[in-house]
Structure 1
Amino acid sequence: MTVIADISVPADAFPLGRVLEDIPGVEIELERIVPLQEAIIPLFWISGGEASTIDTTLRDHPETKAVDQLTSAEDATLFEVRWSPDINGLIGALVDTRAKILEATGTADEWEFRLRFSSHEELSTFNVALTENDIPVTLRHIYNPTLPEDEAALSAEQRDALLTAYRQGYFEVPRRTTLTELADTVEISDSALSQRLRRATNAVVEDALLRDDDPNE
């Protein structure tokens, strides 16, 4: 049975946290992790710092094999980093248990994850792996999505952002508000709101339009 867990870990338990701990004020949103045979490649958005400084910091870290800046949006930059496949700890546990990262954000102090596991056994295996690597983890919330509307796994923050954008006319043509004005309303940065809206929209589309699709088509 599918289980979803909201957890938080200290930033130094996660490679990106260790790499960027000397750059205060950065905000990171993990896009996804691609496990390959020869490397592990995370894609993530970083805001709150100079892209060139972040790039140099990433490249100079011993855990990093390669870095690419893919694109920029608002005040955030999308980075692709290549790590060695033998990296352990939190990343190893995520890859080994095939956890799906629904949402992940971090600062220089703490990372928060919303993870989907295919079973309670995989969640248990994940917790054991963290314990064996001396990684302190706080389990903030855990639940089993059983109703159809739960499967999109919209977080409270995503739902609030989507409803606020709708009510203030962000989706109208022409728009009645801007991304900057919306960000001020929900008290987060432009880039963080942009990513939150995109993830929320993606989840709603999957839930509303793809639920009955044949996966084999």
Structure 2
Amino acid sequence: MRLVAEFEIKCEALPLVEVASSVPEATLILKLQFNHGERPLFLVTVSGSSHQEIGDALTAAYDVGEWTLVGQAGDTHRYQVIPALSFEEQLGGHIDDLSGLESLATADAIIERIEVLPNGWQQTGWFASREAFDNFASFWQQNADFQLSRLTRDGESEPPGDGLTDQQQEALRTAYELGYFDIPRQASLETVAAELNISASSVSERLRRAQTQLIEETVATTWPPLPDRTTTH
């Protein structure tokens, strides 16, 4: 029985978490290339922040060796990042079972999506069996804060938006009903925030993450290739 899982690993020692913390308004999607020895290359797609802000955060991060801007489309930037530390070096002081960490690399699983958050990673993964998922979850439950959002069988259909959290759905629905998405706009971010009884910055973050999720579920696969641009630091 193959499974699809969505979960969050709260661990501030994970790679690039410092970068996400430096630019909390940005969305960072990480892909790993494991064919580069003990330090896999990071491919990072960033939206919601300027190149200058992201570049400054990457340069200042303790776990980033070198980084290169490899493409840009609108306010979305893509970077190749060479880590300064191996996973063992980065997580060794925070995880007791380093051999267990190494075994995860050969688990019967494919991590399809990693979003880097200011306090950890939010991931979507495919697991060949319940045992494979349980082993993965057990490791992170013992070594970090593991929170499961969704676990379904491979092949179960889901309408777009099922990946949204309850808070994101509430924020989208409230903003829509108040006219925040109307043209011209009928409600301000502050009005939506007052209705939800949270801050305007919190509403902005929820709406941004919700819209990013919906885009990835619907039209992201039709995204045109990024132009070839190279800037190395």
**How high is the TM-score relative to the length of structure 1?**
0.60
**Quick one: percent identity of the two aligned structures?**
15
Cα distance, 1:160 vs structure 2? 1.9
Q: What residue is the counterpart of 1:143 in the other structure?
A: 151
Task: Give the Cα separation in 2 of the matches to 1:28 and 1:95.
Answer: 31
Counterparts of 2:211 and 2:58, CA distance in 1: 26
Contact kept? 2:140, 2:146, Cα under 8 Å:
no
Match of 2:98 in 1: none
Alignment of 1:5-84 (within 5 A): 5-12=6-13, 14-18=14-18, 26=24, 29-33=27-31, 35=33, 37-38=35-36, 39-45=41-47, 51=53, 53-58=56-61, 61=62, 63-68=64-69, 70=72, 80-84=79-83
Higher gyration radius (CA):
2
CA deviation digits over 1:71-130, x for unaligned, max 9? 786xxx8562413599436898589732122x73522xx225242324434424534765
**Structure 1 runs not aligned, ≥5 long:** 207-217
**Does residue 118 of structure 2 align to residue 104 of structure 1?**
no
1:215: which partner in 2?
none
Q: CA RMSD in A?
A: 4.4
C-alpha distance 94-142 of structure 1, shift in aligned 2 (>3 A): farther
Q: Distance in 1 between matches of 2:67 and 2:29?
A: 17
Cα pair 1:35 1:95 within 8 Å, conserved: no
Q: CA deviation at 1:42?
A: 2.2
Q: Post-superposition shift, 1:54?
A: 1.8
Evaluate the alpha carbon distance shift between residue 122 and residue 195 of structure 1 in structure 2; reply closer, same or farther with a 3 A threshold: same
**Deviation at residue 63 of structure 1 after TM alignment:** 3.6
Tell me the CA shift for residue 137 of structure 1: 3.6
- Do 1:26 and 1:46's aligned partners in 2 also have CA atoms closer than 8 Å? no
Residue number in structure 2 paired with 1:210:
none
Superposed CA deviations along residues 174-205 of structure 1, whole A, max 9, x for unmatched, are 332345654665531635532322323543x4
Report how many aligned residue pairs link the two structures. 191
Residue 197 (1) aligns with residue 206 (2): no
- Cα gap change, 1:32/1:112 in structure 2, threshold over 3 Å: closer, same or farther? closer
Between the aligned partners of 2:124 and 2:138, the Cα distance in structure 1 is: 16
**Residue 147 of structure 1: how far off its partner (Å):** 5.5
